[in-house]
Structure 1
Amino acid sequence: MSTTVSTDNPDDPIAYFLEDLTYHGKTERTRDAYGRVLRRFEAFLADPDRNPSGDALTPAEATHRDCMAWVHTLRGTVTDSTIASYAAYLHRFYAYMTQVGVFESNPMTLVVEELDETIEKDPTRREISIDQMRSFVSDIHHPLDQALIVTLLKTGMRVGELCNLDLRDLALDDNEVETAFDGSPRPQLATRPNSLYVDSEPAVGERVNGEERTASNKRKRATIIPVDEELQRVLKRWLAIRPDSLSPAEPLFVYTTGEWGQRLTPRAVRTVVTEHAEAAGWYDTGGDAADNVTPHYFRHFFTTHLRDRTGDRGVVKYLRGDVADDIIDTYTHNWGGQVRATYDANIYSILR
């Protein structure tokens, strides 16, 4: 069954999509990555000996079964994380083409949901209880180090997303903080106090909010994450000593030594985490992900403990930025209800 709308049927939907990526300001590197994956999928569909239909198909004619079959051909040739990335590219292609009216539906929606259930993005890792994590955090005294680690623990964001946060991405309902800094939070936070905005757009080499970025965000859609009382407390403590920055973007986290006032890099955050993890006996040089505590471990910790407490996989996926457009829209529109209420009722306490 065709998914094409007759009122708008470009001869080459992939080229159409890639051209629109250019209009949206995506880098050549990003466009090339999408192009390679989408053309590979197109070649699979065009080969009747490979696709399950037995006929030569176009992307507009692909069904859920065709998409799943293509994903299956990738297994054993690339890693699980690469499969997830390729599926995300294809999902974004179909989601966009559906949104602009070129296709009627997105056959990748169900595929992505199935992949989320079957691909384990984290290997088996060291088990750390909440009590052990509280003890770990209590030994971190520098305001910046504590703010970095508590933010990772309370939000589950990736280290690149942490580094890309600007002051405008934080809304705290605190008069002292509001008076200390010029400017206002993003409009998206105007009615959502005590929250963080994690964008999906920043990418290496792209200029965002007046500054060229050295890290990329990997979430599928921008996400608003609640800030509870504990995170508010450590962020306020950090902001009280945060050096002024020369960047027009006003990064939230900046160096307090060396490159004074410049945006922290993922490498710097990893160094901070490694030093504290080594002191706790949670990191050995040469150790693997199953043993070592790294910034990504905190994302695993957040996911595991919040999912166990809430029993709501949808909210956790929303907070992680892992869900598809239709699902994330549901949670975005109901942010003040289901998301905030679920988060506030279930987020673990990490400070003593």
Structure 2
Amino acid sequence: MASEHHPDGEEGDGEGGAGDPIAYFLQDMTYHGKTERTRDAYERVLREFEAFLGTPDRNPMGTTKPPSAATRRDCMAWIHELRGSVAESTVATYASYLHRFYAYMNQVGEFDSNPMTLVVEEMDERIDTNPTRRDISVDAMVSFVADVTHPLDRAIVVTLLKTGMRAGELCNLDLRDVSLSDTDHATRPQLDGKADSIYVSPEPTVGEECNGERRPASNKRKRETVIPVDGELKRVLKQWLAVRPDPISPADPVFTTTRENWGQRVTPDIVHHIVTKHASERGWHRRGGDAAENVTPHYFRHFFTTHLRDRTGDRGIVKYLRGDVAEDIIDTYTHNWGDRVREVYEANVYSLC
């Protein structure tokens, strides 16, 4: 694991200090439920900065120093060195990682200050949480989906594209969260009277038990959401459920592995691998590419948002379906779900297969 990396072979100082502050930070990220992929991304960036500080002819003071001794000028010099070698959105992402690292270490008392505070304020570009992304038309996405023939892969890709849910939310779906007409299984009370719908709960938290199973990811929604299932997604889900391996978990996960660990709930890493494998085959993903270039599960959420918003002209409904709106807007669409949300969704959602 990333948090076990200690360049000098020594363990951290434990609760009294951080002999390797980067390893200390990564360990705490583990405790906070961050995925291995997220921790690996942070470690890669932080170790690159550490190497910069440890190379005298690269840093402004011409000396070797640890991350705990870095100054504002050291941070600015590293960011300046990045420019021209990576995309601007990647520079912003790296800066945000470094800022998060120093802010946390300062907050827990391991570092005396955060040298990135002024750097972030002084940067020419804002840290972009929604960078410009590859523009893929619906027709191009239809062609992409047509090439995804494996039942699990196809069900995952179509579900992400038609619902806009996060990869972790898809992983946490249990059969009780899916209501499909012409199927016979118990569903949540929240789905009563809402046939052909998916319920996304805010409850699952990575590492904690939900419906009798420890979860691989957290759902990041503030409030529960009921997402309509149109005829196309219903057909794909029923095709998948007809061949789904018997789940190992009593929670009855919707999406289970069909390769290694047969019958276990899929994880965000598995979903990410499935999507990027197919995207790579089409030239939509490459190792080292940034968010502006690569198609990932999160790109599908962007695709859903962009195309459905453009077709409906109703930002409120799209925000409701994404699960990231204020309570007053959520309440408006919750109370009017059957008449408004499903009607607008079904009238405007794109066809993919």
Please indicate, yes or no, whether the TM-score normalized by the shorter chain is above 0.5.
yes
Letter of the aligned partner of 1:255 in structure 2? Answer: T
Structure 2 residue 224 is the aligned partner of structure 1 residue 222: yes
Matched with 2:156 is 148
- Quote the Cα distance in structure 2 between the aligned partners of 1:119 and 1:157: 24
Pairwise CA distance, 1:248: 1.3
Pairwise CA distance, 1:79: 4.6
Matched with 2:298 is 296
Among candidates 156, 163, 178, match of residue 170 of structure 1 = 178
- Quote the Cα distance in structure 2 between the aligned partners of 1:338 and 1:120: 33
- How is 1:1-352 mapped onto 2 (pairs within 5 angstroms)? 79=96, 121-174=129-182, 177-178=183-184, 183-351=185-353
Q: Gaps spanning 5+ residues in structure 2: where?
A: 1-30, 34-94, 101-125
- Quote the Cα distance in structure 2 between the aligned partners of 1:223 and 1:120: 27
Pairwise CA distance, 1:326: 2.0
Deviations 1:91-141 (A, max 9, x none): xxxxxxxxxxxxxxxxxxxxxxxxxxx996421000000000000000111
Matched with 1:57 is none
- Quote the Cα distance in structure 1 between the aligned partners of 2:211 and 2:178: 14
Letter of the aligned partner of 1:163 in structure 2? Answer: C
Q: Secondary structure at the match of 1:152?
A: helix
Letter of the aligned partner of 2:263 in structure 1? Answer: G
- Quote the Cα distance in structure 2 between the aligned partners of 1:29 and 1:300: 26
Given the superposition, is the C-alpha separation of residues 145 and 326 from structure 1 closer, same or farther in structure 2, using an over 3 Å criterion?
same
- Quote the Cα distance in structure 1 between the aligned partners of 2:140 and 2:151: 20
- Quote the Cα distance in structure 2 between the aligned partners of 1:340 and 1:119: 35
- Quote the Cα distance in structure 1 between the aligned partners of 2:154 and 2:128: 29
Pairwise CA distance, 1:29: 5.3
- Quote the Cα distance in structure 1 between the aligned partners of 2:241 and 2:252: 12
Letter of the aligned partner of 1:155 in structure 2? Answer: T
Letter of the aligned partner of 1:265 in structure 2? Answer: T
Q: Secondary structure at the match of 1:197?
A: strand
Q: Which runs of 4+ in 1 moved over 6 A?
A: none
CA RMSD of aligned residues (A): 2.4
Deviations 1:211-270 (A, max 9, x none): 011100101111000000110010000001001112111000000111010000000011
Q: Secondary structure at the match of 2:193?
A: coil
Pairwise CA distance, 1:303: 0.2
Under a length normalisation based on structure 1, what TM-score does the superposition of the two structures give? 0.65
2:202–2:222: 8 Å Cα contact kept in structure 1?
yes
- Quote the Cα distance in structure 2 between the aligned partners of 1:316 and 1:306: 7
Deviations 1:41-100 (A, max 9, x none): xxxxxxxxxxxxxxxxxxxxxxxxxxxxxxxxxxxxx959x99xxxxxxxxxxxxxxxxx
- Quote the Cα distance in structure 2 between the aligned partners of 1:330 and 1:266: 32
Letter of the aligned partner of 1:237 in structure 2? Answer: Q
- Quote the Cα distance in structure 2 between the aligned partners of 1:154 and 1:147: 10
Pairwise CA distance, 1:329: 1.3
- Quote the Cα distance in structure 1 between the aligned partners of 2:228 and 2:306: 18
- Quote the Cα distance in structure 2 between the aligned partners of 1:343 and 1:132: 21
2:200–2:225: 8 Å Cα contact kept in structure 1?
yes
2:153–2:274: 8 Å Cα contact kept in structure 1?
yes
- Quote the Cα distance in structure 1 between the aligned partners of 2:160 and 2:297: 7
Deviations 1:179-228 (A, max 9, x none): xxxx4011111100000001111111111111011100101111000000
Pairwise CA distance, 1:327: 1.4
Letter of the aligned partner of 2:130 in structure 1? Answer: D
Given the superposition, is the C-alpha separation of residues 122 and 140 from structure 1 closer, same or farther in structure 2, using an over 3 Å criterion?
same
Letter of the aligned partner of 1:228 in structure 2? Answer: D
- Quote the Cα distance in structure 1 between the aligned partners of 2:271 and 2:167: 7
2:96–2:127: 8 Å Cα contact kept in structure 1?
no
